[in-house]
Amino acid sequence: MRIVFAGTPEFAVSSLRAAARHHEVVAVYTQPDRPAGRGRGLAASPVKLEAVSRGIPVYQPESLKDAAAQQQLRDLQPDLMVVVAYGLILPRAVLDIPTHGCWNVHASLLPRWRGAAPIQRAIQAGDATTGVCLMQMEAGLDTGPVLLHQEVAIADTATGGQLHDTLAELGAQVLADGLGLLRAGIKPIARPQPAQGVTYAHKLDKAEAKLDWAQEAAGLARTVRAFNPWPVAEATLAGERVRIHGAVALDLAHGQAPGTVLAASREGIDIACGQGALRLRVLQREGGKAITAADYLNARRDLRVGA
């Protein structure tokens, strides 16, 4: 087969490796190099770096909507286009170019969590399970029929970063299974998504990272996990803005105003919430690095219960 792969972030790298295992990837599409780091120099995407290391030609159009970009893709004569977190819209004209259309690896059990941030939203919502779907793409946002899927439990302690890595590998496995069937002349059965259970995983916004102590502790703990490693939850703790990398919810009846420091020890700093308390275990001061609650208290000797 002649496969064209389209992807950009680290999540897509495992799938690119799976697609390239039989030397069938004739080209890789990825977003243009973007400014990154303190120097704001142009940086290649993780998918581009992987493609270059494999000697695969790389294309980086700003859009696939213009006729020239579409003709360039058509000239590659792809049998299949595999799309994994590419970040650009594929018009209907592009979806129709490959012989077998376009497949997408999506990090949720569709139709739950269509959209940009399915991994984080699943944790934030308290879902017990999630997974990956191999989907036949159509014009709608993640609305296409599902070809294959795999389910996985979400651990109570899983962070967004940990679940990202798990689903990246699972996505590569599902893609490899689908490609194996196609090589054998068996096209996976396309099963339409059910109309019930549709939810949307809206793009993460840094403004969401600010914790509101008036909310229930269990929900805040899930947000802390979901937003690790980005954008990282933040809050005001005894007058200081801190980022919170690790926390657990306590089922605690306290009768105190939200935001009150209930206890401060090496085990953590317990903050009163609208319901229950949130124990902060790993924090980051402005301009500093992530440290344990014990180390934070060494620097905040003024912090006392009720402070």
pLDDT digits (tens, 9 = 90+) for 83-128: 999 999 999 999 999 999 999 999 999 999 999 999 999 999 999 9
In this prediction, what percent of the chain has a pLDDT beyond 70?
99
- Mean pLDDT of the 6-11 span: 98
Residue 305 pLDDT > 90, yes or no?
no
Note the pLDDT tens digit of each residue in 125-149. 999 999 999 999 999 999 999 999 9
What mean pLDDT comes out for the span 16-20?
A: 98
Please give the single-letter amino acid code of residue 148.
L
Residues in the chain: 307
- DSSP labels for 179-225? HHHHHTT-PPP-BPPPSTT--EEPPP-GGGGB--TTSBHHHHHHHHH
More confident residue, 298 or 11: 11
Residue 307 clears pLDDT 70, i.e. is over it: no
Predicted confidence at residue 35, as pLDDT, reads: 86
Among residues 53, 31, 56, 62, the alpha carbon closest in space to that of 44 is found at 31
Q: Is the pLDDT of residue 80 over 70?
A: yes
CA nearest neighbour of 261 among 209, 226, 296: 296
- In this predicted model, what pLDDT tens digit does every residue of 205-216 receive, in sequence order? 999 999 999 999
Say whether pLDDT at 261 is over 90. yes
The string over 58-91, giving b where at least 16 C-beta atoms fall within 10 Å of a residue's C-beta and e elsewhere, is bbebeebeeeebbeebeebebebbbbbbbebebe
Q: Are 282 and 291 in contact (CB under 8 A)?
A: yes
Name the residue among 31, 84, 77, 25 with its Cα closest to residue 55: 25
Residue pair 159/225 in contact by the 8 Å Cβ criterion: yes
Give the pLDDT confidence score for residue 304 in this predicted structure. 61
266 Cβ contact list (under 8 Å, min separation 6):
292, 293, 294, 297
pTM recorded for the entire structure: 0.95
* pLDDT for 39: 76
Burial of 266 (0-12, 13-18, 19+ CB in 10 A): exposed
Arithmetic mean of pLDDT, 263-285: 96
Report whether 21 contacts 176 (CB < 8 A).
yes
Residue 30 pLDDT level (bands cut at 50, 70, 90)? very high
Q: Which pLDDT tens digit goes with each residue over 51-79?
A: 999 999 999 999 999 999 999 999 999 99
β-pairing, 80-84 vs 233-237, is: unpaired
What percentage of the chain reaches a pLDDT higher than 90? 92
Residue 306: pLDDT band with limits 50, 70, 90: very low
pLDDT of 144? 97
